[in-house]
Amino acid sequence: MQTLIGENGYKGLKGKRVLITGASSGIGAGMARVLAREGARLVLHYNRNAEGIERTMQSLRDYDGQAQMLRCDFRQLDRLESFFKQAWSIYEGLDALVNNAGIVTKTTALNDPFGEQFSDTLKVNLQAPYQLSTAFAQACISAGQSGAIVNNTSIHGQATCEWFSAYAASKAGLDAMTKVQAVEWGRHGIRVNGLAPGVVPVERTQTILSEAKMQQKWHDQMPLGRYGTTEEMGEATAFLLSDACNWMTGSILTMDGGLIARGNYPGRE
């Protein structure tokens, strides 16, 4: 039997050209570190967090990885075409796209009656990935090559709570888009899958999620009894992009410590 993941890591990733959006911090930075370790050549997108992308770039030097960074504000959708062309040109093509960039919007519909925040959230979390994925697919087809896309969705696309109407709508839409694009582009050898993280502490949430009260609140609801890590999300992304998943497309990989499976049932001994 052919080994897909051996002592040298995830098969098929070494030398692959990968664009990761939103790589200046959090899960995107974790994805960059794991893929750099696997020998991928990276194009790292950021918007406002210049210090963060510099930290990400610095962290990749331990792996002697090739990486370039590009800035773009995904709210300005008319700039996505030129941004993608720049990203494609750096290594004279791309083998994979990771749509990780997103904004977490917390507001009720009554506090956003005209949908300004709703619209901004969908621009960044859904419209931008749509346009980038389409540009990637068109470029791959024109080049006569296969490709792989990973969309960073969320468990909020499957089950959600108060204050998340915009965010949950964007992620549920991204789940659906993942499946449709997988169907449309499979005949061209382009795979499209989603990664749905659960509670993963990042820079903006580390302090509050480290509080004992918050840890107990969340950990008790997770069968595995802990938060996820950005590196674990990176490992999952590497898996989805690797040859281990050559026959996997249109799927959403949920990584949440069992939170969704557990449901909102009272505890039982």
Cβ neighbours of residue 2 under 8 Å, at least 6 residues apart? none
Q: What is the 3-state secondary structure of the chain?
A: CCCCEECCEECCCCCCEEEECCCCCHHHHHHHHHHHHCCCEEEEEECCCHHHHHHHHHHHHHHCCCEEEEECCCCCHHHHHHHHHHHHHHCCCCCEEEECCCCCCCECHHHCCCCHHHHHHHHHHHHHHHHHHHHHHHHHHHHCCCEEEEEECCHHHCCCCCCEHHHHHHHHHHHHHHHHHHHHHHHHCEEEEEEEECCCCCCCCHHHHCCHHHHHHHHCCCCCCCCCCHHHHHHHHHHHHCHHHCCCCCCEEEECCCHHHHCCCCCCC
- Torsion over CA: 241, 236, 20, 191 (sign): positive
User: Which residue numbers are catalytic?
Assistant: 167
Dist. CA 183–CA 192, nearest whole Å: 9
**Interior angle at CA 176, CA 175 and CA 177, nearest 5:** 95
Question: Which two structure tokens, joined as six digits, stand for 46?
Answer: 């950021």
